[in-house]
Amino acid sequence: MDVADLVRAGETIGVVFCMSEVSVGVIPDEHDSAPPSEPKSSVFPAVKRWLREPLLHFLVLGVVLFGAYAYFQRGRGGVESSKQIALSLDDLRTMDIYFESQWHRQPTPAELEAMVEDKVREEVLYREALAMGLDKDDTIVKRRMAQKMQFLAEDVAAAHEPSTAELKAWFEKNSNKFALPSRYSFRHLYFSPDKRGKNAQGDAAKALAKIVGQPEDSKLAVSLADPFMFQDYYGDRAPEALAKEFGPQFVVALEKLKPGSWQGPIESGYGWHLVYVDTVIPGRIPAFEEMEPDVKTAWLGEQKQQAWQKAYQQMRAKYTLLLPAPPEPGAAQAPVPPPAKKAPVPSGEVPPL
Amino acid sequence: MQSTQSAEARPAHNPLKNAYFGDLHLHSGYSMDAFAFGTRTTPEDSYKYAMGETVEYMGKPQKRIAPLDFLAVTDHAEYLGVVRDTIDPNGPFANSEWYTMMTNPDPAVSASAFRKLIGSTIVNKPLPEFSDPKLVRSSWEKYAAISDKYYKPGKFTTFVGFEWTSAPQFQNLHRCVIFADKGPAMPYTAFDSLDPEDLWRYLESQRKQGLDVIAVPHNGNASNGLMFSTRDMSGKPITRDYADRRMANEPLAEIIQAKGQTDTSPALSPTDEFANFEMWLYLIGSDKKANSATGSYLRQAYGVGQEQQAKLGVNPFKYGIEAGTDFHSGITSTEPSNFPGSHGNQDSDPKTVITATTSVGGEPPTALSSGGLTGVWAEENTRESIFAAFKRKETFGTSGNRIKVRMFAGWNYPKDMTKQADWVKAAYDGGVPMGGDLTPKAGATAPTLVVHAIKDPDSGNLDRVQIIKIWTKNGKSQEKVYEVVWSGDRKPDPKTGKVSAVGNTVDVKTATYQNTIGSTELIGEWTDPSFDPNAHATYYARVLEIPTPRWSTYWAAKLNLPPNPNVAATVQQRAWTSPIWYAPAKP
């Protein structure tokens, strides 16, 4: 049986084949072992609170990773532990899937073995490099490890599925972020400068005198105006959308009109208008239920940010920065701690310079 | 009457289509060169700004007057997102030359960093410190996810995109790559290949995996004749297969952006009095001027494409038209009265910009235009609907304003069709929209073109609408600009057919203008007076605004300085439609 067959069969038998002094084994997947039993959190509110604590999650995850690492380092079988390279069934499946996504077919046994050998090569060189201390003072390694710490902290925050009550409570505090603008529905009459030149505004004012008190759908009103290139009626539009369509000055004027009668003239980027606003829906804070998916996205963003800030601050607090003292005449130079300063919090983005 | 506000309804699907405006060419601080210029905006800022939110650029809050409908951030694929580590004082580059250059406040120093970065793509030697595949992949995944995050179907459309930055010997062959929906596993870079045919191979393989995608070439003006060459990269004459693949992968070309327009040049179109507009004569990232206008501009390429079609059976340059900014600021700030500069510290200090006569990029920074926008006619504001418009070329490009223009052609349009209320439906039913092919019809004498243009409500009135015709017979191409409809009661010159200048209301000192001349709307029907059914023909429309202050004039007025003498103080902003093509029936 070769590795490819093994993957397809989904078997979990350990196969060890020798490659010089390093052996490769297939080990059972980690998730095959029984999950730890759930804590009865309802009995212990304090415990429950603690369980939500990102830092705790962070620490627990760290311990688990450390334990897993130690376990694999210790290894199994008779070969010296650091000379074993263990690939799980999942690792092999991943290679298989990766290959398929690139080539749109399954790898041949030889191809899969070549991929395994690539992986082994990487692992061998990695371990040898570690043994030689090549990871020390390597900025790329440092940066990558630092980045992983941030991902870890953020992942911990993302792993917690918020309850509706939790989201709702957060929404109450942050509802301004979700405010909806006012919306207008109106009919308008257009007085075209292309057709009327400088008289467009005056003609509109004269027309208004004739249609005062007329209903919105007045036939008389329509007969006095010019055809408009877009719509005569706009329903349920936010100011921003109207500014895009008519130019900003039109919206400033529109917002001052009283609903329920013909008013104007007001100017747009196209000319002059008489306007009958029939409905204004005032801006409001929406109900939580309307916005739940958006609330969840925003909540998650904040959780990640906070979890990372908190995790970093606590780590940072353990360290003291030593800087050279400013040279003083006659004084020997010695590293002294700088004045206490608030630890900078990385945001994950580069700050503007 | 008041009613409770429910969530805003998604606008209805309009079978006669609406005009939407956007930018398919924008760089944020994720682009190596933008970052070198001190631009710190992220793609998130780019989408927010396009949607009308306020974002910070070069230390100041910026907001568009009129939000856009769609946007693709197209950061350079080379080193995408990974150069940002250079300014971290505790980061991997802390003691390196990169840190020193990138944090230096002198624009000349950051320009040298830019040269080094862009230079590595030009000589095709990736800098190893920015090319770790793991970093590149992680950065790309984040970047593509941002585009998906800001997509609001019906309201605001985003596309996943990147720029493939190929420029052999500083001759620009750049293409922006725009995906229909989800983005690819990895972008394609100029390090992978400098040859557009290899880029097409990448696009073809993406399509096979179910990801539809197009590439949009730009800045032929900086290509030294390479962009619309009839030879491939190895110097061999192009083939039918090449022409087929070029058009299958590249339905659109960008006609204007920061580094000038690619419609035509006064050298190529000496009788076109509006040709001299936002010219950029330098090669890319270089202080050398291009030697050749031939092969560099679209209008000429339309003729050459028809000559090739007669030979190969396929027109390799049958490009629809779009426009973009290519701003390296992360924000599509195309409003001249609201223009904050477009290339980080290279043009952020108004006084330097207004008085400068030289710059790192060859032209002084005032020569950068206030960009362009892509217009599309689409049923609704969704990825699906807008991308379909790109592919059928029902698009237009503007010099950054929001002129709405559409064009149709048909053999039997009734006279005065545009006086009917439902003329658009009749135009679709009885002909083809811009981007389409007018197929030969036995017995037809000449096609009629209908053009409708409406001004930007926040810009100048319209001066005129023209149709530019390029026709090819016996391997020879000619062009002519026809006046179709114009404002006021001007009469065309009986000899030349040209309509006189519209006038100029601009007060340069205060950078103001009056809409007392020009029209808000122009609509016209035009029947080709010299149609030859045996000649190939390309027709596209150009709409001109009345003169308004150029962005640099607004800046000068604010500083109480005279405008920079190297550029025009007033410009006629404009829009170009995608062409409609006619090819004679095969004998």
Task: Please list the alpha-helical segments (H only) found in A18-53.
Answer: 45-51
Of A142, A268, A283, the CB nearest to B457: A268
User: Where is pLDDT greater, at B363 or A313?
Assistant: A313
For B396, counting Cβ atoms within 10 Å of its Cβ (0-12 exposed, 13-18 middle, 19+ buried), the class is buried
ipTM: 0.84
Of B5, B38, B458, the CB nearest to A269: B458
CA atoms within 13 A on the CB side of B28: 31
Cβ atoms of B318 and B581 within 8 Å: the answer is: yes
The tens digit of pLDDT for each residue in B448-480 reads 999 999 999 999 999 999 999 999 999 999 999
Q: Is A191 on the interface with B (CB under 8 A)?
A: no
- Is B4–A236 a contact, with Cβ atoms under 8 angstroms apart? no
Smallest Cα distance from A292 to chain B, Å: 12
Task: Write out chain A residues lying below 8 Å of B515, CB-based.
Answer: 193
Does pTM top 0.95 for this prediction? Answer: no
**Tokens at B488, concatenated:** 């006021």
- Reported confidence tier of residue A41, pLDDT bands at 50, 70, 90: very low
pLDDT at B205 over 80: yes
User: Where is pLDDT greater, at B371 or A330?
Assistant: B371
* Residue B74 dihedral angles phi and psi, to the nearest 5°: -125, 70
Q: Is A272 on the interface with B (CB under 8 A)?
A: no
Q: Is A48 on the interface with B (CB under 8 A)?
A: no
* A353: number of Cβ within 10 Å: 12
Cα B196 from Cα B189, distance rounded (Å) = 11
Tell me which of A126-130, B131-135, B503-507 is least confident.
Answer: B131-135
- Reported confidence tier of residue A346, pLDDT bands at 50, 70, 90: very low
- Is A139–B4 a contact, with Cβ atoms under 8 angstroms apart? no
Cβ atoms of B199 and B188 within 8 Å: the answer is: yes
Smallest Cα distance from B407 to chain A, Å: 16
Task: Please list the alpha-helical segments (H only) found in A132-246.
Answer: 139-159, 164-174, 193-196, 200-211, 219-224, 239-246
Mutation target to probe the B interface, by most B beta carbons within 10 A, among A144, A244, A254 is A244
Tell me which of B114-128, B261-275, B521-535, B542-556 is least confident.
Answer: B114-128
- Is A144–B134 a contact, with Cβ atoms under 8 angstroms apart? yes
Cβ atoms of A276 and A263 within 8 Å: the answer is: yes
User: Where is pLDDT greater, at B346 or B65?
Assistant: B65
Residues 387-426 of B with CB under 8 A from A: 421
Q: Domains (ranges, CATH) in chain A?
A: 3-31+40-134 (no CATH), 137-169+291-319 (no CATH), 183-281 (3.10.50.40)
Q: How many residues does chain A have?
A: 353
With CA atoms as reference, the chain A residue closest to B128 would be A140
User: Where is pLDDT greater, at A95 or B452?
Assistant: B452
The tens digit of pLDDT for each residue in B134-187 reads 778 888 999 999 999 999 999 999 999 999 999 998 899 999 999 999 999 999
3-state secondary structure at position B31: coil
Smallest Cα distance from B142 to chain A, Å: 12
Spell out where B128-190 has E strands: 157-164, 175-179
Token pair 């925003």 is at which residue? A298
Cα B516 from Cα B386, distance rounded (Å) = 35
For chain B, percent of residues with pLDDT exceeding 70? 97
Mean of pLDDT values over B114-141: 82
DSSP codes, A78-94: SS-GGGEEEEEHHHHHH
Q: Is B119 on the interface with A (CB under 8 A)?
A: no
Of A183, A194, A353, the CB nearest to B519: A194
**Tokens at B310, concatenated:** 């007669």
**Tokens at B490, concatenated:** 């001007």
**Domains of chain B by residue range:** 18-398, 404-582
Task: Write out chain B residues lying below 8 Å of A193, CB-based.
Answer: 515, 520
Tell me which of A269-283, A332-346, B270-284, B546-560 is least confident.
Answer: A332-346
Torsion of CA A29, A30, A34, A39, to 10 degrees: -150
- Give me the total of CB pairs closer than 8 Å, taking one residue from chain A and one from chain B: 95
Smallest Cα distance from B517 to chain A, Å: 9
Task: Write out chain A residues lying below 8 Å of B9, CB-based.
Answer: 236
With CA atoms as reference, the chain A residue closest to B18 would be A230
The tens digit of pLDDT for each residue in B477-495 reads 999 999 999 999 999 999 9
Mean of pLDDT values over B268-296: 92
Residues 148-187 of A with CB under 8 A from B: 180, 183
Task: Write out chain A residues lying below 8 Å of B519, CB-based.
Answer: 194
Mutation target to probe the B interface, by most B beta carbons within 10 A, among A145, A280, A281, A288 is A281
Cα A325 from Cα B445, distance rounded (Å) = 91
Residue (of B326, B311, B424) closest to B377 by Cα position? B424
Q: Is B519 on the interface with A (CB under 8 A)?
A: yes
Mean of pLDDT values over B260-265: 98
Strand-pair partners of B437 = B581
Task: Please list the alpha-helical segments (H only) found in B31-185.
Answer: 32-36, 43-50, 97-103, 107-122, 133-149
Task: Identify the pLDDT of residue B91.
Answer: 73
CATH class as words, domain B18-398: alpha beta
